[in-house]
């Protein structure tokens, strides 16, 4: 079952896609190059449409029940997305009327089909009016998109503790910059107070998830942006040690994880301690029984026990 934290990534992803798709629809419409298939991909009544997916996902997250709905940034964002969806649907209907009904009505008129009841005149009026309504609905959709983008920023700030979203934004830096109108570092600063803090949050999340190389990359970005060097160095040693273990470089793993331990990891790194203990405990069975390998195994075991004593796992008191 997906958590709300991870579902917010889906919302962020589909909002970026919807924003870009609507802008493309506007540009192609004004250039006279719009294809109805583009409109269908943007808005429709099933999961193939990005605005439909986004609307339904927002409803699930931000409308728990009729009597217990969230009142806050999420509720307003949900309302904005719902309104954007309905304006886009109006645009779709008018495009369909213009591009599908229009040519058929013209063909019937040219063919001289009998029209005693005046249906052709009425259809011609509907087609003509659809052009005006199309422009009106497109203007409203563009206005809502700008306003909703501002509320999207508010939603991101309100969920600044969601490291999954931060990781997603970093991974989609170019798209984020295009939608938000500023570079990724500026967006992270809006959300976290500084871009460095955003990268540091992403790094800690990557390390907790076992993505050690990605963690190192995020730490390097945080370091470049001025995050405290002591924390960067400590977490970097941990990440490098765990990556070395995964690559079978056990000597490097012991050295780096030993440096991490010497840097006095805090209570917030108890999960890292558990992972490091588990990795080091596996070194013995992975090496052959030569003298050098036995020394390596003994060193890994000794360090694992130190970690076990000095960095209590969650819910455990230190024995040091």
35 is a domain residue = yes
pLDDT at residue 67 in the model: 45
Look at 268 and 74; give whichever has higher pLDDT. Answer: 74
> Is the domain of 155 the same as that of 9?
yes
Q: Which range, of 24-28, 55-59, 104-108, 279-283, averages the lowest pLDDT?
A: 104-108
> Is the domain of 134 the same as that of 14?
yes
pLDDT at residue 107 in the model: 75
pLDDT at residue 98 in the model: 77
201 is a domain residue = no
pLDDT at residue 284 in the model: 85
pLDDT at residue 287 in the model: 79
The mean pLDDT value for 140-150 works out to: 93
The residue from 144, 159, 174 where one domain ends is 159
pLDDT at 320 over 70: no
108 is a domain residue = yes
pLDDT at 315 over 70: no
pLDDT at residue 65 in the model: 43
Alpha helices in the chain (DSSP H): 4-30, 36-42, 50-62, 73-96, 102-110, 119-158, 163-171, 173-180, 184-192, 195-209, 212-224, 229-246, 250-262, 270-281, 283-286, 291-310
pLDDT per residue as tens digits for the range 169-188: 999 999 999 999 999 999 99
Buried b (16+ CB within 10 A) or exposed e, 1-36: eeeeeeebbbbbbbbbbbbebbeebbeebeeeebee
Instruction: Count the neighbouring beta carbons within 10 Å of the beta carbon of residue 103.
Output: 11
Residues 6+ apart with CB under 8 A from 97: 126, 127, 130
User: How many percent of the chain have pLDDT more than 70?
Assistant: 87
The residue from 159, 178, 194 where one domain ends is 159
pLDDT at residue 9 in the model: 95
pLDDT at residue 64 in the model: 61
pLDDT at residue 5 in the model: 78
> Is the domain of 105 the same as that of 241?
no
> Is the domain of 11 the same as that of 154?
yes
> Is the domain of 235 the same as that of 137?
no
Domain range for 302: 228-310
pTM: 0.83
The residue from 127, 159, 191 where one domain ends is 159
195 is a domain residue = no
- Confidence band (pLDDT; 50, 70, 90) for 294? confident
The mean pLDDT value for 101-121 works out to: 71
pLDDT per residue as tens digits for the range 3-45: 677 899 999 999 999 999 999 999 999 998 989 899 999 999 9
> Is the domain of 122 the same as that of 246?
no
Structural domain total, the chain: 2
pLDDT per residue as tens digits for the range 45-56: 999 999 999 999
User: How many percent of the chain have pLDDT more than 90?
Assistant: 63
- How far, in Å, CA of 320 to CA of 273, rounded? 15
Indicate the SS3 state at residue 165: helix
């Amino acid at each position: 079952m997906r958590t709300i934290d991870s579902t917010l990534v889906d919302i962020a992803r589909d909002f970026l896609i919807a924003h870009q798709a609507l802008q493309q629809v506007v540009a192609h419409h004004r250039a006279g190059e719009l294809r109805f298939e583009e409109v269908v991909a943007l808005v429709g009544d099933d999961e193939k449409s990005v605005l439909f997916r986004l609307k339904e996902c927002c409803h699930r997250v931000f409308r728990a029940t009729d009597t217990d709905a969230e009142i806050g940034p999420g509720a307003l964002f949900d309302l904005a997305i719902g309104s954007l969806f309905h304006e886009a649907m109006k645009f779709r209907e008018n495009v369909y009327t213009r591009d599908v009904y229009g040519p058929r009505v013209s063909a019937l008129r040219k063919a001289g089909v009998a029209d005693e009841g005046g249906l052709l005149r009425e259809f011609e009026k509907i087609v003509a009016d659809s052009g005006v309504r199309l422009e009106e609905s497109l203007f409203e959709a563009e206005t809502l998109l700008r306003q909703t983008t501002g509320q999207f920023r508010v939603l991101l700030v309100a969920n600044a503790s969601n490291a999954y979203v931060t990781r997603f934004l970093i991974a989609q830096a170019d798209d984020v910059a295009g939608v938000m109108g500023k570079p990724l570092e500026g967006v992270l600063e809006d959300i976290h107070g500084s871009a460095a803090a955003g990268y540091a949050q992403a790094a800690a999340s990557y390390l907790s998830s076992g993505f050690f190389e990605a963690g190192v990359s995020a730490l390097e970005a945080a370091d470049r942006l001025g995050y405290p060097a002591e924390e960067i160095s400590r977490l970097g040693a941990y990440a490098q040690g765990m990556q070395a273990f995964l690559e079978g470089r056990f000597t490097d793993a012991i050295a780096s994880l030993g440096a991490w331990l010497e840097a006095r990891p805090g209570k917030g790194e108890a999960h890292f301690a558990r992972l490091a203990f588990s990795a080091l405990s596996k070194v013995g069975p992975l090496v052959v029984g030569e003298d050098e390998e036995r020394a390596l195994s003994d060193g890994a075991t000794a360090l694992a026990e130190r970690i076990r004593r000095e960095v209590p796992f969650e819910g455990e008191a230190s024995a040091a």
